[in-house]
Amino acid sequence: MSTIITTVNVNGIRAAAKKEHGILAWLASTASQIVCLQEVRADDKQLHASLAPALEAGWHLVSAEPEVKGRNGVAILSRTPADAHRIGFGDPEFEGSGRYLEADFGDLTVGSLYLPSGETGTPKQEEKERFMATFGEYLGKAAAGGRDTVVVGDWNIAHTELDIKNWKGNKKSSGFLPNERAWLDELFADGRWVDVPRKLHPEVEGPYSWWSYRGQAFDNDAGWRIDYQLATADLAERAVSSVVERAVSYDLRWSDHAPVTVEYQ
């Protein structure tokens, strides 16, 4: 029996839910069993109100409400209720930030991550690096636990030149800095964490999952691959397909990100 998991940064759940071809229509048609959301930018009451039609149709919801109004926020939708869920990863600085949530479904743990975006040479970048340091430690312990785990979401880092169209022009940009890319190298070094979409699509440019709303980025496919599904080794071996659900046209987008969906056997 397979499990289909999707991750998507919704860029504001209230806006995404109001669009005619938005997230509610997508949820009504998807085969996914677990859907991880990032950047919901809503409190729990607003989140439940926005997703009311989906919840009435049988989806279950757990969330990490952001303490700063209109910022961050992650959630997990599932066809069956989670056995348990936990907010944060043990770092007091980020406990209430609405950036990490994980839930257990039988023998599987699924995490929804919204890693800080950062900005080169500013306190925002320092915050991002503090997050990376402690979250990296957490991932090391999680992988050592022996449980099937997948951490999905907006990692806000393009790992290699294959993961960003304009890599030459972004060498000094947050999201493609050498130390950020090296951090991902370290996560993958011992094989305990696997970038599943890249494993299934080696040596392919992208497929990108985020495009700026500015200019012709979407039409020209000048994007970044920053939405990942990182799985522990045994689970990654059971991944059979990965797809970026890119909108057919610019006007049908309901976020600046596209859903990234993986099927695990």
What torsion, rounded to 10 degrees, do the Cα atoms 164, 169, 172, 176 define? 0
Q: How many CB atoms lie within 10 A of CB 227?
A: 26
Residue listed under structure tokens 């990863």: 89
Tell whether omega for the bond before 207 is within 30 degrees of 0, i.e. cis. Answer: yes
Cα atoms found within 13 Å of the Cα of residue 174, Cβ hemisphere only:
17
**Per annotation, catalytic residue among 43, 44, 104, 154:** 154
What torsion, rounded to 10 degrees, do the Cα atoms 96, 101, 102, 105 define? 120
Active site residue 154: yes
Token representation of residue 195:
């970038």
- Measured CA to CA, the distance from residue 251 to residue 230 in angstroms comes to 30
- Measured CA to CA, the distance from residue 100 to residue 102 in angstroms comes to 7
Cβ 178 vs Cβ 254: under 8 Å = no
- Measured CA to CA, the distance from residue 238 to residue 265 in angstroms comes to 5
Token representation of residue 78:
């599932």
- Measured CA to CA, the distance from residue 18 to residue 240 in angstroms comes to 33
Which residues are annotated as catalytic? Answer: 154
